[in-house]
């Protein structure tokens, strides 16, 4: 067979394997997706680097990131960025920068993440990837929200939503709506949150997007928890757990366990809450997820305080404080410092309390 024909066949076979990997991803079959990506990569061994190499490394790296294998994702995404630069693949550069920014943000390096998001946004705007530009706006909004700039986050989320709706991107629209809904919950705008969740859920269900359905269900559980509707919160959490327990994504499972721990705490089931939160903490630490770890430690501190274990409460809150300080979440840092001070004062008072005299 001529070399040219063999090359064409390899490219066709590779694209078929990648299409199969993407379908496996959509169905939650991560192990099968990784095998298909590896088979595609083996077919391309020896070929000169090109845009498809950059895409292949980024697709696999993004999957590993979603699974919580942050170190392996980092290596592949850096390789993708290097290749994209080398072959002058502008859209590939922007996409790899965006994916790498998420790695830095997960690890708590907000300054580098913001810089990469900014670079990716400029490259996406200058190129042809308007969808990526809109998604990056969501990510920058998330950073603003973490750091207490709620108005800045709201503006970016709505800019992203408008852009994605204009391009007919239902997947991106559902992500934006979910972020907007959670921001409404945090701001006490419960009716608006419910409407945004409704729209996000409808879009996710129509696409068969089980991951987004799970995230929306967890968001609804938090909405019901905030309004005191514990039965509804448990119902939504159960629906999300039915999905997350069958999927391998550690960060999503950690989020489900965190929400479950909050519901258990509200029910007064403090020992069960500790168990759920400690499982979540283990998953977050394995994923190198600083924000998730901070949120989980903060909730563990609250549970231990209600159990009147001030020493454990202080330890958890000090850990959360360190994580939120790394992320620049000044509002959370201030609140936690006050709680840590109160825990220390209560512990000091208990240690120096009256004792029976020796006879």
The predicted-structure confidence for 56-113, as pLDDT tens digits, reads as follows 999 999 999 999 999 999 999 999 999 999 999 999 999 999 999 999 999 999 999 9
DSSP per residue over 11-43, as a string?
Answer: HHHHHHHHHHHHHHHHHT-HHHHHHHHHHHHHH
Q: How far is CA 149 from CA 35, 102, 143, in A?
A: 42, 19, 9
Q: How far is CA 327 from CA 14, 109, 162, 282, 290, in A?
A: 40, 7, 28, 20, 8
Range 260-346 classified under CATH 1.10.3720.10: no
Q: What pLDDT sits at residue 86?
A: 96
Q: Which two tokens stand for residue 189?
A: 């705008």
Across the range 36-46, mean pLDDT stands at 88
* 315 vs 126: CA distance, rounded Å: 48
DSSP per residue over 316-357, as a string?
Answer: HHHHHHHHHHHHT-HHHHHHHHHHHHHHHHHHHHHHTS--PP
* 109 vs 102: CA distance, rounded Å: 10
Band (5; pLDDT cuts 50, 70, 90): very low
Q: Is the model's pLDDT at 48 over the cut of 90?
A: no
Which of 173, 211, 179 minimizes the C-alpha distance to 62? Answer: 211
| pLDDT tens figures, 331-351 | 999 999 999 988 776 665 555
Band (44; pLDDT cuts 50, 70, 90): confident
* 260 vs 254: CA distance, rounded Å: 10
- In the DSSP assignment, the letter for residue 278 is H
Burial class (CB in 10 A: 0-12, 13-18, 19+), 316: buried
Band (282; pLDDT cuts 50, 70, 90): very high
* 149 vs 128: CA distance, rounded Å: 30
Q: What pLDDT sits at residue 24?
A: 86
Instruction: State the average pLDDT for the chain.
Output: 91
Cβ atoms within 10 A of the Cβ of 336, count?
25
Which of 108, 78, 112 minimizes the C-alpha distance to 96? Answer: 78
* 208 vs 81: CA distance, rounded Å: 31
Q: How far is CA 330 from CA 90, 288, 301, in A?
A: 36, 21, 18
Q: What pLDDT sits at residue 27?
A: 78
DSSP per residue over 283-310, as a string?
Answer: HHHHTT-HHHHHHHHHHHHHHHHHTT-H
Q: Which two tokens stand for residue 110?
A: 């907000």
Band (3; pLDDT cuts 50, 70, 90): very low
Q: How far apart are the first and last CA of the chain?
A: 101
Q: Which two tokens stand for residue 53?
A: 């190499």
Q: Is the model's pLDDT at 283 over the cut of 70?
A: yes
Band (359; pLDDT cuts 50, 70, 90): very low
Q: What pLDDT sits at residue 70?
A: 98
Q: Is the model's pLDDT at 356 over the cut of 50?
A: no
| pLDDT tens figures, 152-171 | 999 999 999 999 999 899 99
Q: What pLDDT sits at residue 6?
A: 44
Band (245; pLDDT cuts 50, 70, 90): confident
Q: What pLDDT sits at residue 23?
A: 85
Q: Which two tokens stand for residue 59?
A: 């697709």
pTM of structure: 0.90
């Amino acid at each position: 067979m001529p070399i040219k024909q063999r090359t064409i066949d390899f490219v066709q076979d590779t694209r078929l394997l990648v299409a199969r990997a993407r379908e496996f991803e959509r169905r939650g079959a991560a192990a099968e997706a990784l095998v298909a990506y590896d088979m595609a990569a083996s077919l391309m061994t020896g070929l000169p680097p090109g845009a498809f190499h950059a895409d292949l490394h980024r697709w696999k790296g993004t999957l590993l990131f979603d699974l919580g294998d942050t170190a392996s994702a980092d290596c592949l995404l850096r390789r993708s960025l290097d290749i994209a630069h080398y072959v002058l693949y502008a859209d590939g550069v922007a996409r790899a920068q965006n994916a790498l920014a998420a790695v830095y943000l997960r690890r708590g390096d907000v300054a580098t993440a913001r810089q990469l998001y900014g670079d990716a946004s400029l490259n996406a705007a200058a190129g042809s990837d308007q969808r990526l530009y809109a998604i990056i706006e969501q990510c920058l909004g998330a950073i603003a929200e973490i750091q207490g700039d709620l108005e800045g986050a709201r503006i970016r989320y709505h800019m992203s939503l408008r852009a994605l709706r204009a391009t007919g991107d239902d997947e991106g629209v559902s992500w934006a709506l979910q972020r907007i809904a959670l921001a409404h919950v945090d701001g006490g705008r419960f009716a608006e949150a419910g409407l945004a969740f409704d729209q996000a859920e409808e879009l996710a269900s129509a696409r068969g997007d089980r991951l987004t359905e799970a995230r929306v269900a967890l968001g609804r559980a938090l909405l019901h928890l905030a309004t005191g509707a514990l039965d509804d919160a448990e119902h939504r959490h159960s629906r999300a757990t039915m999905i997350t327990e069958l999927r391998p994504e550690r960060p999503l499972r950690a989020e489900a366990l965190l929400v479950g721990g909050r519901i258990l705490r509200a029910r007064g089931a403090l020992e069960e809450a500790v168990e759920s939160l400690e499982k979540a903490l283990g998953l977050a630490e394995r994923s190198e997820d600083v924000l998730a770890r901070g949120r989980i430690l903060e909730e563990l501190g609250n549970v231990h305080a209600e159990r009147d274990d001030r020493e454990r409460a202080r330890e958890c809150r000090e850990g959360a404080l360190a994580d939120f300080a790394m992320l620049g979440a000044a509002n959370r840092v201030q609140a936690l410092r006050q709680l840590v001070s109160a825990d220390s004062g209560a512990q000091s008072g208990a240690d120096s309390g009256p004792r029976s005299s020796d006879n």
